[in-house]
Amino acid sequence: MKINVLSESLDALAYDGLVLGFFSDERPPRGYCGLADWRLNGLISKLIVEGRITGAFMEKTLIFSNHRIPSSKTFLLGLGESTQLTYEKLYTAGSTISQTLSETECADLVFDIPGSGRCNLEIPRMAVAMVSGVFDFCDRKQGGVASDMTVLSDRNYFDEVVLGMHEFKVSVKNRIAVDVIDQAASARIA
């Protein structure tokens, strides 16, 4: 299994499934979801204002980007209030990401670690929680694990996300081999 850690523009993300977390108490959305909102000319903000999406915990919404974002399927995942975010909720979000992408038959996935730097949680542990949720769902439900996973990270928190991926690698060493690829440095991390 490879875990790619990227710090890229949304324009460079040509994945089948893009999952972006957002919070019910952040208006307009921030992080990668905020960037997607900007690229989509405020579509996400408009859906929020209209009450069609709220950001409630585990609310899932598929939006079409009309080629403004290269990913063919963009999913928004509500995470509730940012002040109520926990590692357990991030784990559940990771599992939900895996389940949703499995149900929609996405060939590959990329997701961010929502709330990085905006809540009181440790970023490496946030990354471990989300990736563990993705991994555990795949391991339980599909009898195997996806061969490739991509985690988005803001440049300001990139090193902390990579540290979290190394912690995840150690935690699953007896179950599966994991290679963490730091795409920003274009070098393999042993």
> Which domains occur in the chain, in start order?
2-189 (3.40.220.10)
85 pLDDT band, cuts 50/70/90, is very high
Per-residue pLDDT, 101:
80
| Dist CA 38 CA 6 (whole Å) | 20
Per-residue pLDDT, 184:
56
How much is the mean pLDDT over the chain?
86
- Phi first, then psi, for residue 29 (nearest 5°) are -60, 155
Contact 179, 188 (CB under 8 A): yes
| Dist CA 115 CA 67 (whole Å) | 26
Per-residue pLDDT, 4:
85
Per-residue pLDDT, 58:
95
66 pLDDT band, cuts 50/70/90, is confident
CA–CA–CA angle 145, 127, 48 (5° rounding):
100
| Dist CA 102 CA 59 (whole Å) | 17
What digits encode the pLDDT tens for the residues 103-134? 888 778 889 999 888 888 999 999 999 999 98
3 state SS for 125-166:
HHHHHHHHHHHHHHHHHCCCCCCEEEEECCHHHHHHHHHHHH
pTM assigned to the model = 0.87
Per-residue pLDDT, 187:
38
Contact 28, 45 (CB under 8 A): yes
Contact 3, 108 (CB under 8 A): no
| Dist CA 121 CA 139 (whole Å) | 26
Per-residue pLDDT, 141:
67
Sign of CA dihedral 115, 120, 125, 130: negative
Higher pLDDT, 39 or 190: 39
Per-residue pLDDT, 11:
81
| Dist CA 154 CA 121 (whole Å) | 16
What digits encode the pLDDT tens for the residues 5-47? 888 888 887 888 889 999 999 999 999 999 999 999 999 999 9
Per-residue pLDDT, 146:
54
Per-residue pLDDT, 161:
92
Q: What is the mean pLDDT of residues 94-111?
A: 85
Q: Per mean pLDDT, which range of 24-38, 60-74, 102-116, 145-159 is the poorest?
A: 145-159
